[in-house]
Every structure is written in structure tokens, then in C-alpha cells.
């Protein structure tokens, strides 16, 4: 009996990625940071669906932080995307925090197949998750 456990990243896999430009958040002044947050919230409310999971039972493991959990839950509900469970990043907002969150969750859940759009995260997961098929999603297209 096949016990496949499938996980999906959210941004860039299930929904479109927000265009953040090439500016680091740390280099923004306070007015620019406020605008950045406003635009992030708009995106989290209105992002277009790129891919609907093909499995009936799946998990979403996102780098989004707890601050945006309710917006994420609301977006999933409005778009009729119903995971077994949504795993929000409780580790922190830096890139290495996203990677740690995803690594730990994939291993804890014994995920057998995971879809990821970040090359950096994909490479690390591919290296560290020996029992998981890591599938790279490029420009919203599952490869």
C-alpha cells in the first residue's frame, strides 16, 4: 500500500509570487517598509492561483510567518484549497529560517514528495531530505 505524503510550498507553487524588486527589506526606510508591508498584505489577500494540488490529501509548508497566518488561511478558504494541515514558519523571517522550517517539517511529517520554487531552498532540501522527492517548480510550472 502506497503511503505517499505530499507537501507543497505556497508562494511560487500554489499561488503567484509577489514581486519584491531587488531591494533588501533591511535597506528600506520606515516609509518604504510600511509600503512594503501594505503591498505584502494586498498580495496575500489577492494572489492568483498558479497550481491546484492534484492530490486529494496534501500538506502546505510555507515560509510565511505567523504574522500572516490568518491572511493565508483566508486566502486558502476563498480559493477552495484545503490541505490536511497548513504549516506556517514559526522559526523566523530570514532565508535560513525558511529552510530550517521546511527541513524540520518535511522530516517530521515524513513527506515523500515536496514541491518548491526557490532554487536555494530546493538545493538544500534535495541535499538534506534523502527520503523525499523534491520537485522544482520554475515560473509556476511543475517540472
pLDDT in tens, 36-57: 889 889 999 999 999 999 999 9
The per-residue pLDDT for 136 is: 96
The per-residue pLDDT for 46 is: 95
Largest CA distance in the chain: 56
The per-residue pLDDT for 44 is: 93
Q: Are strands 6-8 and 141-142 parallel, antiparallel or unpaired?
A: unpaired
Q: Are strands 59-65 and 85-89 parallel, antiparallel or unpaired?
A: parallel
**Domain annotation for the chain: domains and CATH numbers:** 6-18+48-142 (3.40.50)
Which residues make Cβ contacts (< 8 Å) with residue 101, sequence separation at least 6?
A: 61, 63, 87, 89, 90, 91
d(CA 89, CA 60): 11
Mean pLDDT confidence for 2-11: 92
pLDDT one-digit tens code per residue, 89-141: 988 777 888 899 999 999 999 999 999 999 999 999 999 999 999 999 998 88
Which residues make Cβ contacts (< 8 Å) with residue 133, sequence separation at least 6?
A: 112, 113, 114
Amino acid at each position: 500500500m502506497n503511503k505517499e505524503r505530499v507537501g507543497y510550498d505556497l508562494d511560487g507553487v500554489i499561488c503567484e509570487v509577489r514581486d519584491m524588486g531587488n531591494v533588501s527589506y533591511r535597506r528600506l526606510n520606515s516609509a518604504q517598509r510600511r509600503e512594503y508591508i501594505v503591498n505584502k498584505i494586498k498580495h496575500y489577500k489577492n494572489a492568483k492561483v498558479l497550481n491546484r494540488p492534484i492530490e486529494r490529501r496534501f500538506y502546505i509548508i510555507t515560509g510565511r510567518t505567523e504574522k500572516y497566518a490568518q491572511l493565508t488561511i483566508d486566502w486558502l478558504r476563498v480559493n477552495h484549497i484545503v490541505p490536511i494541515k497548513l504549516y506556517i514558519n514559526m522559526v523566523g523571517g530570514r532565508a535560513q529560517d525558511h529552510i530550517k522550517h521546511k527541513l524540520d517539517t518535511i522530516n517530521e511529517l515524513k513527506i515523500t514528495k515536496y514541491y518548491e520554487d526557490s532554487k536555494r531552498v530546493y538545493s538544500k532540501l534535495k541535499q538534506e531530505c534523502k527520503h523525499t522527492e523534491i520537485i522544482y517548480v520554475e515560473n509556476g510550472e511543475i517540472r
